[in-house]
Chain A
Amino acid sequence: MAGATRPGDRPISPFVSIWRWHVTMASSILHRVTGVGLYGGMLLLCGWLMVIAAGPEAYEPFGAFLAGPIGQVGLYLLVACFAYHLANGIRHLVFDTGHGMKPSDAETTAWFAILFAIAAPIGLWALVTFGG
């Protein structure tokens, strides 16, 4: 079309030379990573139930693992995964209704999900440790 100029605010697809990191990309990939992490977490929870049912001797090594450093860090990370996946899952469900997809809104809520994933496990840990 003669005289047509490219509007400045037209969305541009990612391209080798025109590209920057967006928090919404991190939020998308984190949803997947935490979902896969929680898959492992659910298998762990089911394993826990089965060794409990199998009796105290069977539970012994499992309980020692959970109480040890790897188990404790693992549980902490699982709570972080859960908090992120929960907050971002709600974000996805809101997107499904057609809301919150303006880039600035999507970025704000992505940051919120990330901050929630940092704050929630600290909060829960503090509540368990100091809450009596």
Chain B
Amino acid sequence: MSKDKSTPLGRVRNHGAAAEGTGHFVGQRVSAIALLFVATWFVLSAALSMDGPTYLAAIDFISQPFNAVGLILLIMVALYHMRLGMGEVVNDYVHKPFAKMALLLLNTLVPLVIAAGAIFAVLLVNFGV
């Protein structure tokens, strides 16, 4: 997020509102509005169109182009939203500097790695051998 939302004093001192708080706030809400549609679509369409958690039902679902694009969108937006949200939870409850840094680092890396793996999985189901 750009620093334009910071206060002039914050920008000069590079403290307070010059940090990323406002950007996170906006990002959390923009991703919430996107998820309102994408995640609701996924829950309904997965529950109603797959009969049971079988391999074939899953392949069928993922290999429809509309569903594949929807899944990739869901992965990107949900993982962004939940990373921001969980960052706030960690900041609220974890106060020991080392544990806090470690959890925040984990909260950045795990969603990134998982997102890359899951998006690759959707592509593989559609274009793999």
- A residues with CB within 8 A of B: 32, 35-36, 38-39, 42-43, 45-46, 48-50, 52-54, 56, 59-60, 63, 66-67, 71, 79, 82, 86, 89-90, 92-93, 96, 124, 127-128, 131
Contacts and interface: CB of A to CB of B under 8 A. Distances in A.
Nearest to A96: B29
Given A32-B89, A43-B114, A128-B48, A49 B71 contact: yes
B58 A36 contact: no
Interface string B90-129: 0000000000000000000010001101101110110010
B118 A50 contact: yes
Contacts of A48: 58
Contact of A67 (B53, B115, B125): B53
Given A36-B86, A39-B82, A93-B32, A52 B125 contact: yes
A32 B91 CA distance: 13
B79 interface: yes
Interface of B: 29, 32-33, 35-36, 39-40, 43-44, 47-48, 52-55, 58-59, 62, 71, 74-75, 78-79, 82, 85-86, 89, 110, 114-115, 117-118, 120-122, 124-125, 128
Contact of B58 (A38, A42, A52, A131): A52
28 contacts: A35-B86, A35-B89, A36-B89, A39-B85, A42-B75, A42-B82, A43-B114, A45-B75, A46-B114, A46-B121, A48-B58, A49-B118, A50-B121, A52-B59, A52-B121, A53-B120, A53-B121, A53-B122, A53-B128, A54-B121, A56-B55, A60-B55, A63-B53, A67-B52, A67-B53, A93-B33, A96-B29, A127-B48
A71 B53 contact: yes
B79 A42 contact: yes
Contact of B47 (A39, A42, A124): A124
User: Chain B interface mostly helix, strand, loop or mixed?
Assistant: helix
Given A39-B86, A82-B43, A59 B55 contact: yes
Contacts, number: 85
User: Chain A interface mostly helix, strand, loop or mixed?
Assistant: helix
B101 to A, nearest CB: 19
Contacts of A52: 55, 58-59, 62, 121, 125
Ordered nearest first, which 6 A-B pairs have the shortest CB separation? A53-B121, A46-B118, A66-B53, A49-B121, A53-B124, A39-B82
